[in-house]
């Protein structure tokens, strides 16, 4: 009933609008009617039909019908609708024109974004992988880098922290290829910029460039691959308004669990006895811990709670033949998990909060038919807050404080003592707060001029970009005291001893200038393409210059000239040459410039007569290959390696008689860039009319000239020397991506799995002469773990007596027994120096896989992204796994420790209270597989039928729920840490699981 009413009202409004239109064009000479349908035959309401070059147009009604009056029968109709390819239909004096629109996704897929340009996908000869906006917006993340894991073959990602605002992932393209920096460069709309805080809704596509054919034009910045982000631009058509908003909850995927006071106390007694010391807890105390009369503090339970995330974006795009625009505003909010952050009289919140505001306008204007200008402006403001503490400090405290200590005293004051002057409540609620701002403005102005007057299809472009980022911070610190109760003879609190002092926020706060970064980029390019019969040529010649001012550092500067030429014969044979000649300020005069060339070729076999139209299932099949040289000019943060210089030893560098000056590392006059030689071979194809597609790449790289410090230089030299170009690393592997999509009845589904394998090997790194072959790091992948081989626990005193001596600290039955590798005639005991060998994979996975899949049916849609990694190990230590580490505590898996009674089944050595040099050392015992698979992302949505939403003037209305990191399968459950945790003590802010609900509306 209600629906009917709405329908009637809607119809009346539309009829009224149509009347207006027809009224306007009273002098009609022709009326055209027609129906617009999609490729499946379903009618499309809300489609814009416009006479080309005019503002005369109409919109289809709920039945997909339109009526349009045109002055004569010779024009062209432009039929456009979001999500579909725009179609142009000549009128040719017809009065009924029915149109079928094809979905847009396919059309987008046909162009691939490359460095400094784009190409038709079928003629690309380099190795490039791309995803579109639709997949990106499914991840409710505040940092875009966290949305890519598992989606792009060749991309390896790791996220080490979930703290709002500092939770970005690290990227490796095709794994680790160097002993130095191996992160790829990130370019947004052709300029090297950070992508972290872009709004996913503003992004058209993200490509990663993987081989030399794709990156040679990036010269000495290209060896680690590149990530290219392209933002959306306006298209001719009526304004399209998109609004998307969502809100949700986030919580830790996993939190460390520790044993309670009773278990803590009895295990500590046991450990002390094992150490030959006196137990410290009496039976009464144990009983008190057991029955709860004495403190039993669960720090994580006390500290953490689920918190909120929210995001919204409004964007409008459209345009006419002369001007097109995309404007967008976005907001993103993410709050940390700490409790008690608003426990203060002043009314501030000390939680970790990340707020992000994005504004963007991308505008193209055709001034004449030959001259186009483009102006892109983006403002990205982030404001991050924390409780004037670092997440690792708080995690360390939560991981360290024993459960027997209370958080509050009887009188409500904060508990502490001379050792524990930090109190967890005090840390989150009583230290004030800090605000970290990051204000980024990015602008690009470009002029493109068609130069057909010189020669046909020649165009020139000049563009200038200016980015500015300032990240000041403001600190409003305060201090808190902790109090240790002192008891009288009756056991009552006599008084409290105070440690530290309470202080209030200074209203002026303290201001940190933070970082200031300015990036200017100038580019001039000439593009030309020509077609002579079956020969097709495209060329690009480009010069650019980049200057980066970062804080007070001497500016970074690059300039290069680069070329790319493609030749296609008969749309079957493709050859491409590209090269850049580039210089960097980082090298001495005279050896600044390098040439980085690549060649590549492709053969579209499916176009050959012996296949074309003969193998029905085969749509497309291409073989391609490339070879090239690329470079990398950075070795950590150290610059100008050819210098030897003296410097003031700093504020700590004074002695009673004045400042101290010293000579720095000795320079390397022959310094040059790292050189990567890369080969890539691939096969790609589509079958059964696009139902099945695949891309398979194999690659090999040798990275040489890697800048390394010489490790064979004796300390007797008495000084560091700057890195030398000596390292060599090989890398090889493959990627496979398969796409399958199909429609069965009204169910449309897709399945898109991909896998990446990349294995590297250190070929040379100036390793010292090792006494035994198993000690060499060379020959293993970068980051391979080294340590002793653990061989269970000593059974008894006989076992101890009959085994080789272990030279680390006192040990006995129940302690870890190691394998001795040295021959008995050399050494009769086990030692760190000669018995350590390769015991585990590097922390960066060798295998990364993902599978995005989904289906839709009558407006319902469901997608899920599985993502995982394999061939990765983690070596945990300290608070993460050691018992009682530096007065710390114990975890549930410590219960299964060795005791004489449980010798057979124990999975943990006998306990010690003090640092145990024998057990607590790098060995296979602490190496754990960090393989995992997780439901990285899942989304379920429902789009209300178009005919319903159009009544209220909308063209699209979808509700959805999605989530991140929903479930994980892995092997680290015993340690209650996330499988993306770094090696070490586990003091990381937990990775977040997010549940999110939202709507997506288009007008």
Contact yes or no for 180/214 (Cβ under 8 A): no
- Percentages of the chain per state (helix, strand, coil), in multiples of 5: 15, 45, 40
Distances (CA, A) of 177 to 21, 46, 584, 769, 934: 63, 51, 21, 24, 26
Q: Which is nearer to other proteins, 435 or 550 (CB)?
A: 550
Q: Which of 713, 800, 838, 870 binds other proteins (CB under 8 A)?
A: 713
Region near other proteins per CB under 8 A, out of 372-380, 432-440, 554-562, 859-867: 554-562
Does 93 participate in binding other proteins (rule CB under 8 A)? Answer: no
Does 833 participate in binding other proteins (rule CB under 8 A)? Answer: yes
Q: Which is nearer to other proteins, 715 or 904 (CB)?
A: 715
Distances (CA, A) of 925 to 474, 707, 983, 984: 45, 34, 14, 14
> Minimum distance between the CB of residue 209 and other proteins, rounded to whole angstroms?
23
> Minimum distance between the CB of residue 721 and other proteins, rounded to whole angstroms?
5
Name the nearest CA neighbour of 817 among 903, 930, 928: 903
Question: Taking the CA of residue 354 as centre, how many other CA atoms within 13 Å lie in the half-sphere pointing to its CB?
Answer: 23
Q: Which is nearer to other proteins, 305 or 545 (CB)?
A: 545
Name the nearest CA neighbour of 169 among 1002, 757, 936: 936
Q: Which of 117, 295, 379, 460 binds other proteins (CB under 8 A)?
A: 460
Q: Which residues of 881-901 are buried (b: 16+ CB within 10 A; e: fewer)?
A: bbbbbeebbbbebbeebbeee
Q: Which of 479, 509, 543, 982 binds other proteins (CB under 8 A)?
A: 543
Calculated CA dihedral for residues 79, 84, 86, 87, nearest 10 degrees:
-70
Does 528 participate in binding other proteins (rule CB under 8 A)? Answer: yes
Contact yes or no for 708/724 (Cβ under 8 A): yes
Q: Which is nearer to other proteins, 339 or 777 (CB)?
A: 777
Q: Which is nearer to other proteins, 587 or 849 (CB)?
A: 587
Q: Which is nearer to other proteins, 610 or 646 (CB)?
A: 646
Does 393 participate in binding other proteins (rule CB under 8 A)? Answer: no
Region near other proteins per CB under 8 A, out of 52-60, 145-153, 330-338, 581-589: 581-589
Q: Which is nearer to other proteins, 610 or 655 (CB)?
A: 655
Region near other proteins per CB under 8 A, out of 104-112, 307-315, 422-430, 827-835: 827-835
- The footprint of other proteins on residues 212-251 (CB under 8 A) is none
Contact yes or no for 745/40 (Cβ under 8 A): no
Residues in the chain: 1003
Q: Which of 2, 369, 589, 614 binds other proteins (CB under 8 A)?
A: 589
Q: Which is nearer to other proteins, 484 or 955 (CB)?
A: 484
The answer for residues whose C-beta is within 8 angstroms of residue 349's C-beta and 6 or more apart is 341, 342, 385, 433
Does 21 participate in binding other proteins (rule CB under 8 A)? Answer: no
Number of residues this chain uses to bind other proteins (CB under 8 A) = 82
Q: Which of 314, 359, 541, 821 binds other proteins (CB under 8 A)?
A: 541
Residue 108: which H helix or E strand, with range?
helix 104-109
Region near other proteins per CB under 8 A, out of 292-300, 378-386, 708-716, 814-822: 708-716
Region near other proteins per CB under 8 A, out of 13-21, 614-622, 692-700, 831-839: 831-839
Rounded distance between C-alpha atoms, residue 461 and residue 374, angstroms: 10
Distances (CA, A) of 93 to 26, 34, 60, 101, 740: 19, 13, 20, 21, 42
Q: Which residue has the tokens 């409790």?
A: 339
> Minimum distance between the CB of residue 588 and other proteins, rounded to whole angstroms?
9
- The footprint of other proteins on residues 31-60 (CB under 8 A) is none
Rounded distance between C-alpha atoms, residue 601 and residue 26, angstroms: 59
Name the nearest CA neighbour of 693 among 656, 741, 628: 741
Q: What angle do CA 136, 142, 145 make, to 5 degrees?
A: 55
Distances (CA, A) of 42 to 32, 446, 959: 21, 41, 21
Residue 814: which H helix or E strand, with range?
none
> Minimum distance between the CB of residue 650 and other proteins, rounded to whole angstroms?
11
> Minimum distance between the CB of residue 458 and other proteins, rounded to whole angstroms?
7
Q: Which is nearer to other proteins, 586 or 606 (CB)?
A: 586
Contact yes or no for 212/676 (Cβ under 8 A): yes
Q: Which of 181, 320, 741, 809 binds other proteins (CB under 8 A)?
A: 809
- H helical segments located in 516-596: none
Q: Which is nearer to other proteins, 33 or 449 (CB)?
A: 449
- The footprint of other proteins on residues 747-776 (CB under 8 A) is 768-771
> Minimum distance between the CB of residue 727 and other proteins, rounded to whole angstroms?
17
- The footprint of other proteins on residues 431-450 (CB under 8 A) is none
Does 832 participate in binding other proteins (rule CB under 8 A)? Answer: yes
- The footprint of other proteins on residues 561-580 (CB under 8 A) is 561
- The footprint of other proteins on residues 479-508 (CB under 8 A) is 497, 499-500
Does 533 participate in binding other proteins (rule CB under 8 A)? Answer: no
Q: Which is nearer to other proteins, 122 or 835 (CB)?
A: 835
Does 419 participate in binding other proteins (rule CB under 8 A)? Answer: yes
Q: Which of 585, 607, 730, 799 binds other proteins (CB under 8 A)?
A: 585
Question: Taking the CA of residue 983 as centre, how many other CA atoms within 13 Å lie in the half-sphere pointing to its CB?
Answer: 17
> Minimum distance between the CB of residue 382 and other proteins, rounded to whole angstroms?
30
- The footprint of other proteins on residues 865-924 (CB under 8 A) is 886-887, 913-915, 917-918
Contact yes or no for 821/774 (Cβ under 8 A): yes
Neighbouring CB atoms inside 10 A of 675's CB total: 20
Region near other proteins per CB under 8 A, out of 59-67, 156-164, 659-667, 930-938: 659-667
Q: Which is nearer to other proteins, 44 or 481 (CB)?
A: 481
Does 801 participate in binding other proteins (rule CB under 8 A)? Answer: no
Does 72 participate in binding other proteins (rule CB under 8 A)? Answer: no
Does 254 participate in binding other proteins (rule CB under 8 A)? Answer: no
Does 278 participate in binding other proteins (rule CB under 8 A)? Answer: yes
Contact yes or no for 708/690 (Cβ under 8 A): no
Rounded distance between C-alpha atoms, residue 230 and residue 193, angstroms: 12
Does 660 participate in binding other proteins (rule CB under 8 A)? Answer: yes
Distances (CA, A) of 856 to 47, 862, 978: 22, 6, 32
Q: Which is nearer to other proteins, 459 or 929 (CB)?
A: 459
- The footprint of other proteins on residues 595-654 (CB under 8 A) is 639-640, 643-647, 649, 653-654
User: Three-class SS of residue 20?
Assistant: helix
Contact yes or no for 908/925 (Cβ under 8 A): no
Rounded distance between C-alpha atoms, residue 425 and residue 388, angstroms: 13
User: What is the DSSP secondary structure assignment for residue 911, as one 8-state letter?
Assistant: P
Does 592 participate in binding other proteins (rule CB under 8 A)? Answer: yes
Q: Which is nearer to other proteins, 885 or 957 (CB)?
A: 885
Distances (CA, A) of 739 to 201, 367, 936: 24, 42, 19
Q: Which is nearer to other proteins, 550 or 974 (CB)?
A: 550
Q: Which is nearer to other proteins, 422 or 584 (CB)?
A: 584
Contact yes or no for 611/595 (Cβ under 8 A): no
Q: Which of 96, 291, 455, 613 binds other proteins (CB under 8 A)?
A: 455
Distances (CA, A) of 156 to 149, 153, 197, 691, 780: 7, 8, 20, 27, 19
Region near other proteins per CB under 8 A, out of 32-40, 804-812, 818-826, 889-897: 804-812
Does 810 participate in binding other proteins (rule CB under 8 A)? Answer: yes
Contact yes or no for 147/318 (Cβ under 8 A): no
> Minimum distance between the CB of residue 465 and other proteins, rounded to whole angstroms?
17
């Amino acid at each position: 009933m209600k629906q009917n009413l709405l329908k009637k009202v809607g119809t009346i409004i539309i009829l009224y609008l149509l009347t207006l239109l027809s009224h306007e064009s009273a002098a009609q000479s022709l009326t055209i009617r027609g129906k617009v349908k999609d490729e499946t035959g379903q009618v499309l309401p809300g489609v814009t039909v416009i006479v080309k070059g005019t503002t005369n147009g109409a919109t289809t009604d709920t039945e997909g019908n339109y009526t349009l009056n045109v002055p004569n029968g010779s024009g062209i109709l432009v039929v456009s609708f979001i999500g579909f390819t725009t179609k142009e239909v000549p009128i040719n004096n017809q009065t009924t024109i029915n149109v079928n629109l094809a979905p847009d996704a396919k059309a987008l897929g046909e162009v691939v974004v490359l460095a400094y340009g784009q190409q038709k996908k079928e003629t690309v000869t380099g190795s490039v992988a791309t995803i579109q906006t639709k997949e990106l917006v499914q991840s409710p993340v505040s940092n875009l880098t966290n949305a890519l894991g598992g989606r792009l073959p060749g991309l390896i990602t790791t996220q080490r922290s979930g703290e709002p605002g500092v939770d970005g992932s690290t990227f490796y393209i095709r794994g680790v290829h160097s002993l130095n920096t191996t992160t790829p460069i990130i370019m947004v709309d052709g300029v090297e910029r950070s992508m972290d805080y872009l709004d996913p809704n503003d992004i058209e596509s993200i490509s990663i460039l993987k081989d030399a054919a794709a990156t040679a034009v990036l010269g000495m910045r290209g060896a680690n691959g590149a990530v290219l982000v392209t933002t959306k631009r306006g298209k001719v058509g009526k304004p399209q308004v998109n609004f998307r908003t969502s809100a949700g909850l986030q919580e830790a995927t996993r939190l460390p669990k520790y044993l309670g006071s009773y278990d803590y106390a009895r295990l500590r007694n046991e450990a002390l006895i094992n150490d030959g010391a006196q137990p410290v807890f009496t039976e009464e105390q144990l009983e008190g811990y057991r029955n709860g009369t004495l403190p039993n503090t669960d720090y994580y339970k006390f500290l953490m709670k689920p918190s909120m995330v929210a995001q919204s974006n409004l964007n409008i795009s459209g345009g006419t033949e002369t001007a097109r625009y995309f404007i967008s505003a976005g907001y993103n909010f993410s709050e940390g998990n700490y409790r008690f952050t608003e426990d203060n009289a002043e009314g501030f919140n000390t939680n970790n909060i990340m707020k992000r505001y994005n504004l963007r306008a991308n505008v193209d204007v055709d001034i004449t038919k030959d001259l186009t200008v483009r102006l892109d402006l983006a403002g990205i403001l982030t404001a991050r807050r924390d409780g004037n503490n670092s997440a690792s400090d708080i995690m360390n405290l939560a991981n360290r404080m024993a459960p027997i200590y209370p958080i509050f005293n009887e009188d409500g004051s904060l508990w502490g003592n001379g050792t524990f002057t930090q109190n967890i409540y005090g840390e989150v609620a009583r230290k004030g707060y800090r605000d970290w701002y990051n204000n980024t403005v990015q602008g690009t102005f470009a002029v493109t001029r068609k130069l057909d007057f010189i020669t046909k299809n020649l165009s020139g472009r000049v563009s200038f970009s200016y980015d500015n980022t300032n990240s000041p911070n403001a600190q409003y610190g305060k201090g808190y005291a902790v109090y240790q109760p002192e008891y009288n003879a009756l056991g009552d609190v006599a008084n409290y001893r105070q440690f530290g002092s309470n202080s209030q926020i200074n209203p002026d706060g303290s201001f940190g200038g933070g970082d200031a970064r300015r990036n200017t980029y100038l580019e001039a390019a000439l593009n030309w393409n020509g077609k002579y019969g079956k020969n097709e040529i495209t060329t690009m010649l480009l010069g650019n210059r980049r200057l980066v001012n970062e804080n007070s550092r001497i500016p970074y500067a690059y300039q290069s000239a680069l070329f790319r030429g493609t030749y296609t014969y008969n749309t079957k044979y493709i050859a491409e040459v590209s090269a850049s000649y580039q210089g960097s300020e980082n090298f001495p005069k005279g050896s600044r410039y390098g040439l980085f060339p690549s060649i590549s070729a492709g053969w579209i076999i499916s176009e050959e007569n012996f296949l074309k139209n003969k193998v029905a299932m085969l749509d497309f099949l291409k073989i391609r290959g490339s070879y090239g040289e690329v470079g990398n000019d950075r070795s950590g943060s150290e610059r100008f390696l050819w210098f030897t210089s003296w410097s003031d030893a700093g504020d700590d560098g004074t002695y009673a008689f004045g400042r101290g000056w010293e000579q720095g590392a000795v320079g390397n006059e022959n310094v040059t860039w790292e050189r990567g030689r890369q080969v890539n071979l691939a096969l790609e194809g589509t079958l059964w009319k696009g139902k099945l597609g695949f891309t398979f790449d194999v690659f090999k790289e040798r990275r040489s000239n890697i800048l390394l410090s010489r490790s064979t230089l004796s300390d007797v030299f008495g000084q560091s020397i700057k890195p030398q170009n000596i390292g060599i690393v090989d890398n090889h592997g493959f990627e496979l991506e398969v796409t399958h999509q199909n429609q069965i009845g009204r169910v449309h589904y897709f399945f898109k799995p991909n896998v990446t394998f990349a294995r590297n090997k250190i070929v040379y790194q100036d390793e010292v002469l090792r006494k035994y072959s198993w000690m060499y790091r060379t020959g293993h992948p970068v980051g391979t773990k080294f340590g002793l081989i653990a061989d269970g626990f000593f059974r008894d005193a006989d076992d101890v007596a009959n085994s080789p001596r272990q030279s680390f600290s006192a040990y006995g039955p129940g302690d870890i027994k190691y394998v001795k590798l040295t021959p008995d005639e050399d050494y009769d005991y086990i030692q760190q120096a000669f018995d350590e060998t390769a015991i585990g994979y590097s922390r960066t996975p060798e295998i990364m896989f993902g599978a995005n899949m989904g289906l839709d049916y009558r407006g319902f849609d469901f997608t899920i992204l599985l993502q995982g990694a394999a061939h990765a190990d983690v070596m945990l230590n300290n608070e993460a796994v050691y018992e009682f580490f530096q007065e710390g505590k114990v975890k549930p898996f410590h219960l299964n420790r060795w005791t004489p009674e449980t010798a057979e089944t124990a999975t943990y050595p006998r306990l010690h209270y003090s640092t145990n040099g024998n057990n607590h050392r790098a060995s296979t015992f602490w190496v754990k597989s960090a393989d995992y698979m997780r439901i990285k992302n899942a989304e379920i949505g429902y789009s209300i039928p178009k005919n319903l939403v159009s009544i209220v003037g909308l063209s699209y209305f979808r509700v959805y729920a999605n989530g991140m990191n929903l479930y994980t399968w892995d092997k680290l459950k015993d340690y209650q840490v996330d499988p993306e945790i770094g090696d070490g003590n586990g003091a990381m802010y937990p990775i977040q699981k997010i549940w999110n609900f939202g709507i997506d509306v288009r007008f």
